[in-house]
Amino acid sequence: MIEFTVNGERRELVETSPSMPLLWVLRDHLKLTGTKFGCGMGLCGACTVHLDGVAVRSCQLPVAAVAGHSITTIEGLSATQEHPLQLAWVAEDVPQCGYCQSGQIMSAAALLNTGAAVTDDSIRNAMSGNLCRCGTYGRINKAIKRAASASKEA
Amino acid sequence: MTISQVNLSRRVFLKQAATATGGLAIAFYLPSSLGATDPKAPTPTGTFEPNAWVRILPDGTVKLVVHKHDSGTGTHTALAACVAEELDVNPMTVQVISPEDPFFDTYIHPVWKVFSTGGSTSVSLEYDRLRMAGATARALLITAAARQWKVSPDSCSTIEGRVVHGASQRSLAYAELVGVAAELPAPAQVTLKDPAQFRYIGKLRHKRDAQAKVCGRFKYSIDVELPDMLVAVIQRTPVIGAKVLSVDAAATLQVPGVRQVIAVPGRPDVLGGNVEGVAVLADNYWAAHQGRALLKVQWSESPLAGFDSDELVKAQSAALDDKGAQRVSAMAAGDVGAQWPVAVKLLEADYRMPYKVQNPLEPICITAQVKDNAITYWGGVQVPSSALEAAQKVCRIAKDKVIINEMVSGGSFGAREAKYWLFEVAYLAQQAKVPVKLMNSREDEMRSLFMHPATLHRVKGALDKQGRLTALQLNAVSPASPEQWEPGYFERPDKMDYSTTEAITAWDFAYRPANLDLVWVKHESNVPSGWYRSVSFIPNVFAVESFMDELADGAGQDPLAFRLAHMHERPRHVAVLKSAAERAGWGQPLPEGTALGIATHQGYTSFIAVVARLSKKNGAINVDKLTCVVDCGLAVSPGGVEEQIYGGLMWGLGHALFDRLDIKQGRVVQSNFHDYRVTRMSDMPAVDILIVDGEPGKPGGVGELGSPAVAPAIANALFSLTGVRQRSTPLNLG
C-alpha cells in the first residue's frame, strides 16, 4: 500500500503498481485531470505538480517515490481557485488553448514559494521547462509579475 | 456614418463565396429547411430560434451557436462577438455552444464546401453572415416588443438583452419576447450597426474561457471518460509504408489492465496507405502504453525503406531540371528569359526548408462509440467532414447517425486536420463494441507522418544599371497539397494548387517587376505530408524575402528602400513595412555588433512586416527583438489578434532556429522534445507588436499570419551582421 497526501487529503493506493507514474495515478485513479500529459519524458512541463512545495514532473515520478509526501495539483493550489497567479492569469488573459497552463501555473507557484525576487531572469529560469505551443510566454511573464506584486501588497 | 442595410426575403440566409481573387461575393440562397434552424436541435416550447446561430430560451438563457472548432485561437470568442454585437448581448456572459447538428448545410465552409475549420478563415469569412444573424434576431425581438407596446419599431432600441422604448421608459427582456418573436416573419430589411457604435467588436481584450483553464477544470479530449470505455494506443508503421505481417501479443496481453489487441489495417485514402498499425486497448493509458511496448510486430519491407530526407534535395534539384515535371504558373508577366542576356547583374540562389511537425501540446485524442448503427464522437474535431467520412467508410453509418460532442482542443496547428485518427477510432470502436478513447503519445505525434514537407526553391533575378529588378523567376519545388477531404478540390480548371503557391500568386505577391515567372514544380517523394500552420507561406516567403535582400545587396541599395521601390499600388503593404521599420529604428545608428533584418508578406487578406534585431556578443549571436506591424483590416478581438501574432512570431522563430524533422531509411529520426526542439520561454526575444485597422474595415485572417516573415527577417539580419548568407533552415547562429 502507498500512502501520500494529495491537496491536503490522505490517499491510500492498494492495487496500484508502485512504478506507475504519479501523473497517471492522479488522472486515472484519483480523477484529478487538471494535470496534463504532454510528452511522458519530463520535457514539456504539462504534468507539473508540487512535491512538498517544489515543482516536479509527475510523468517521471513513480508513485512509490511520493509515499509519505505531500502532493499539490492545480485543483488544490487554492481552495477558492483565486490564487494570485490564477487571478493574474485571468487578468492578463494568458491561456490560449490552455492545455499547458496547469503546469505553467504550478511552476510559477513554485517560483513564488521560494521567495526569490521575481525578475525576467528568475521567471525565465523557473519557466523554461514548461512548453507552450500557442505562444503565451509574454503574457505568462506579465502575469507572474502581476501576481508577485499582488502577493506583496496582500 | 456607415449603416449597412440588407434586404432579406422570408427565411433566407446569406451565403458567401470566395471569388477567384480571394475577395468575397455575397449571394442569397434558400436553405434546405424553411426554418433554417437546426433540424436536429431539440426545440423547447417557446424557444426563439430565428436562425442557425441564435437560441433564446423562455428562461432567459441566450445561446450563441459557433460552428467552428476552437483550438485555442479564441475563435469562439471572436465569432460569438459578431453575433452578440448585433443581437446586443454580452458575448462574455452568454452561453456559446457547438451546433447540435454539425452537418447542417448552413455550417458548411463557404469556400471549401466541407465542414471544417482552418486556413485562418473563420472570422474573415463568417463576419458578415454572423452579424446578419444577430441583427435579424434583434429586429424580430424589437418588432415583438413594438407590437406589444403598440409603438413603432423605429422608436425602440436594445441594450444588453432588453428591448427599450425610451419615450415611455418601458423595457422588456428578450426572454419575455421569445414567444411572440418566434411567430413573426423574418424582417424584409435588416440594419447592421454603425461600427462606431460597436461595444464588443474591436474592443475585446479577453477570451471567454480563461477562468476554467487556470483552475484545471476545463475539459479536453484527453479528459473524456465514459462507462466501459477502453483506452487505445496504436503501434503504427515504423518504416513509412511497411505493413503488418504478423503480431505476437502474448506478452502484451499479460499486462494487467490490457483487454484487447486489434490490428488496424491501412487504407489507401488515409495518408496514402502508408500507415497501419496494431492497437492495444486497456483500462487506462499506462496499461495500454506498457502493453504496446511489449508487442512483437513483424513488418513488411517498404519501398520507402531507402528514403533519406538528407538526399531529398538531389531529387528536388533533378525535378527543377526535368522538362517532364508538372509545373503550374502561379504568376507570370512579360518575358523573364529575354531579360537574362541583357541584365547588368544576375543573381541566383537556392533556399531549403526541412520537414517539420506541428506538435500541439495536447497529443491527438478522440473517443468514439459505435452503437445501434450510430457513431458518437467526443473530442476536438476540427474537420467534422473527416469524422463523417470515417463513419461512412469504416462503419457504413449514415450521416444522420453521426454525432459529435465537440470540444476545444489543446492546439492544432494543422495536426487535427489529419484524418487518420478519426478512421482509426471509428474502426476500433466498431471492433471493440465499447467506447474507445484513442490517445497519441508525444512519439506518435512526432511520427504522425502528417508533416510539413521539405522544400527547395530556386530563385533568379536580373538587375539593370539603375539597380532596378527587371525580371524575377522563382521555382518552388514541393509535393502537392496534403490529402484532401474532397479529392480533386485543388485540381481546379486552372490546375493551380493554392495550398502550395501561397504568397506567390497575383493577389498575395507584393512586388511588380515588369517580368515575372513564379512557378510551382510538383515533386512527390511518396512520403505523406500534412497541413501545418501557415502552410506554403513559410517556404515561399522565406525564399522571396531572403532573395529580395540579396537583390538589394546586389543593387547596392537599402533592403527597405529596395522593397518599397518595387511595390506598386499597395498602400496597406507599404504602410506596415514603413511602420515596422520606423518602430525598429531602421536607418538609425545601431550599437556595435547589432544588425536589423526586414521581411514582409500579405496573406489571408492581412498584411505583416517583421524586423529582427540580432546582436553578437562574445562570439555568440542572439535574436534580441522582433518588431512587427500587422494590418488585419479589423481586429474583432484585438487581444486575440495580438496573441495570435505573438504565437506566430514564436513559430517563426522556431522555423528560423529549431524546427527540423529528419527521415533516415524511411524512419522518422526524432521522437520527443529532447531531439525535436521547439521554442521555449528562454528562447523568446523581446517582442513589439502593433496592430492597425486598415481599409476596408473588415477582418482578415491572423492565425497563420505571424510566422512566415520571421525566418527571412532573421536570415537577413544575420547577413547584415556577418556578411554570410544562409539559405537553409534551421539557421546556424554559430
CATH number at residue B157: 3.30.365.10
> With contacts defined as CB-CB under 8 Å, which chain B residues touch A95?
72, 207, 209-210, 213-214
In B540-619, which ranges are E strands?
594-603, 606-617
CATH 3.20.20.70 fits A84-153, yes or no: no
Whether B727 and B151 have beta carbons less than 8 Å apart is answered as no
Quote the pLDDT of residue B29. Answer: 29
Residues B651 and B673 in one domain: yes
Q: Give the separation between CA B334 and CA B516, rounded to whole angstroms.
A: 6
Letter for the amino acid at A109?
A
Which triple of cell numbers denotes residue B26? 455575397
| Cβ–Cβ below 8 Å for B674 and A28 | no
Residues B297 and B430 in one domain: yes
Report yes or no on B348 lying in a domain.
Answer: yes
List CB contacts of B75: < 8 A, sequence separation 6 or more: B66, B68, B69, B117, B122, B123
Residues B133 and B192 in one domain: yes
| Cβ–Cβ below 8 Å for B643 and A46 | no
Q: How many residues can be counted in chain A?
A: 154
Which triple of cell numbers denotes residue B559? 533592403
Whether B89 and B163 have beta carbons less than 8 Å apart is answered as no
Candidates B715, B355, B313, B309; CA nearest to B532 is B355
Residues B317 and B199 in one domain: no
The 3-state secondary structure of B410-466, one letter per residue: CCCCCHHHCCHHHHHHHHHHHHHCCCEEEECCHHHHHCCCCCECCEEEEEEEEECCC
Quote the pLDDT of residue B24. Answer: 25
Q: How many CB atoms lie within 10 A of CB B575?
A: 16
Who among B222, B363, B411 is closest to A97 (CB)?
Answer: B411
Q: Give the separation between CA B348 and CA B695, rounded to whole angstroms.
A: 37
Which triple of cell numbers denotes residue B330? 502561379
| Cβ–Cβ below 8 Å for B285 and A28 | yes
| B673 vs A: CB within 8 A | yes
Quote the pLDDT of residue B113. Answer: 81
Report yes or no on B52 lying in a domain.
Answer: yes
Domain around B332? 309-356+451-722
> With contacts defined as CB-CB under 8 Å, which chain A residues touch B440?
none
Q: Is the ipTM of this complex over 0.90?
A: yes
Q: Which fold has domain A2-76?
A: Ubiquitin-like (UB roll) (3.10.20)
Convert the pLDDT of each residue in A110-136 to its tens digit: 999 999 999 999 999 999 999 999 999
Whether B608 and B628 have beta carbons less than 8 Å apart is answered as yes
Q: Give the separation between CA A33 and CA B429, rounded to whole angstroms.
A: 23
Quote the pLDDT of residue B14. Answer: 32
| B210 vs A: CB within 8 A | yes
Residues B575 and B640 in one domain: yes
| B75 vs A: CB within 8 A | no
Report cis status (omega within 30 of 0) of the bond before B591.
no
Q: Which helix (H) or strand (E) holds B559?
A: helix B559-565
Report the gap between the CA of A100 and the closest CA in chain B (Å).
7
Q: Give the separation between CA A100 and CA B411, rounded to whole angstroms.
A: 10
Q: How many CB atoms lie within 10 A of CB B591?
A: 7
CB pairs under 8 A between A and B: 168
Q: How many CB atoms lie within 10 A of CB B617?
A: 10
Candidates B661, B705, B656, B709; CA nearest to B684 is B656
Question: To probe the interface with A, which of B75, B206, B215 has the most A CB atoms within 10 Å?
Answer: B215
Convert the pLDDT of each residue in A54-78 to its tens digit: 999 999 999 999 999 999 999 999 9
Q: Among B439, B468, B489, which residue terminates a domain?
A: B439
Residues B600 and B700 in one domain: yes
Measured between CA atoms, the residue of chain A closest to residue B684 is A137
Residues B395 and B458 in one domain: no
Q: Give the separation between CA A127 and CA A111, rounded to whole angstroms.
A: 9
Who among A127, A129, A133 is closest to B359 (CB)?
Answer: A133
Please name the residues between 104 and 163 in chain B that touch chain A, using a CB distance below 8 Å.
Answer: none
Query: What is the domain partition of chain A in residue ranges?
Result: 2-76, 84-153
| Cβ–Cβ below 8 Å for B409 and A96 | no
Whether B57 and B178 have beta carbons less than 8 Å apart is answered as yes
Candidates A89, A86, A100; CA nearest to A43 is A100
Tally the C-alpha atoms within 13 A of residue B408's C-alpha that lie toward its C-beta.
24
DSSP β-bridge partners for residue B352: B456, B728
Report yes or no on B445 lying in a domain.
Answer: no
Report the gap between the CA of A101 and the closest CA in chain B (Å).
6
Quote the pLDDT of residue B44. Answer: 55
Residues B530 and B493 in one domain: yes
Measured between CA atoms, the residue of chain A closest to residue B220 is A99
User: First-to-last CA distance in chain B?
Assistant: 56
Residues B370 and B336 in one domain: no
**Distances from the Cα of B301 to the Cα of B305, B420, B526, angstroms:** 7, 22, 15
Residues B329 and B387 in one domain: no
Q: Among B211, B240, B265, which residue terminates a domain?
A: B211
Residues B458 and B416 in one domain: no
DSSP β-bridge partners for residue B409: none
Q: How many domains does chain B have?
A: 3
Quote the pLDDT of residue A76. Answer: 98
Q: Which residues of chain B have pLDDT under 50?
A: 1-39, 41, 485
| Cβ–Cβ below 8 Å for A133 and B687 | no
Quote the pLDDT of residue B492. Answer: 59
Q: Give the separation between CA B266 and CA B276, rounded to whole angstroms.
A: 4
Backbone angles phi, psi at B275, to 5 degrees: -130, 130
- DSSP H helix total and E strand total for chain A: 5, 5
Convert the pLDDT of each residue in B206-257 to its tens digit: 999 999 999 999 999 999 999 999 999 999 999 999 999 999 999 999 999 9
Please name the residues between 92 and 131 in chain A that touch chain B, using a CB distance below 8 Å.
Answer: 93-102, 105, 123-125, 127-131
Quote the pLDDT of residue B342. Answer: 97
Q: Is the pLDDT of residue A95 over 50?
A: yes
Quote the pLDDT of residue B5. Answer: 43
Q: Angle formed by the axes of helices B122-149 and B75-87, to 10°? A: 30
Residues B19 and B144 in one domain: yes
pTM (predicted TM-score): 0.94
